[in-house]
Copies of this chain bind each other. A is one copy, B any other.
Amino acid sequence: MSTQPQLCHSNCDDCPIRHRAVCAHCDTDELEELEEIKYYRSFEAGQTVIWSGDQMSFVGSVVSGIASLTQTMEDGRTQMVGLLLPSDFVGRPGRDGAPYDVVATTDLVMCCFRKKPFEELMARTPHIAHRLLEMTLDELDAAREWMLVLGRKTAREKIASLLSIIARRDASLTKRGMSGPMVFDLPLTREAMADYLGLTLETVSRQISALKKDGVIHLEGKRHVTIPDMGRLMEEAGDDTDGGFLV
């Protein structure tokens, strides 16, 4: 429960997300300006970063760990509407209130910028504005991909889709390729997966068991996943087996 803003002063030079985050296109001058308004914050798994409706005093990038955006109806039904992995951006320059809850799904480190100065910096730094547009368009694509998953896929296909996305994003971060078996840890509880996929946690559990029984995935413990054949998984997800690999 206690907020532990365990500050750490690391440098942009050896930042693990330097080449993918909002600051990707920045030159050294611009980075220096950013350094002046930036600070790091850490959150423990389960902590809420921002409550829906709150004023936001900062924007920033996920450095490590995973955060999720969720929407909740009055009766408690909740839907995850965004999964923020390292390098993803949090916050919307030019807007005040936060439209969704932002929750640390795992332990989380963020690189935050004070909002006002960041907005001013953005106004005179096309590199940043441009990169942000690029990233927002990517997020929009991802959101639309999920609309297909939510609207038209079966429970089994939904699970396969989620696994395939996590596997791919993990591969692109760790720079392991996508040939041969893929191995990773699920960063989400069954409940979080259910919230992402518009299912109940029981259905998630059943479908994971089914995929395991059918040899599409292997499990060690509850979280450690091996995918022997990525093509097979993508078939199960109902995705085009061709193409896709160029992401």
In the complex, the answer to whether A140 meets B139 with C-beta atoms within 8 Å is yes
A94 surroundings in chain B (CB, below 8 A): 133-134, 137
CA distance A157 to B77 in the complex (A): 13
The smallest beta-carbon distance between A159 and chain B, in angstroms, is: 14
Q: Which stretch in A4-12, A24-32, A142-150, A211-219 binds the other chain?
A: A142-150
Q: Which 9 A-B pairs have the closest CB atoms?
A: A151-B198, A150-B150, A81-B144, A143-B143, A79-B148, A79-B151, A77-B152, A150-B151, A81-B147
A133's partner among B82, B99, B136 (CB-CB below 8 A) is B136
Q: How many residues of A contact B (CB 8 A)?
A: 40
Known: A129-B126, A129-B129, A141-B99. A148 touches B73 (CB 8 A): yes
Which residues of A pack against B, CB within 8 Å?
69, 71, 73-75, 77-79, 81-82, 92, 94-95, 99-100, 123, 126, 129-130, 132-134, 136-137, 139-141, 143-148, 150-152, 197-198, 238, 240
The smallest beta-carbon distance between A170 and chain B, in angstroms, is: 22
A151 surroundings in chain B (CB, below 8 A): 79, 150, 197-198
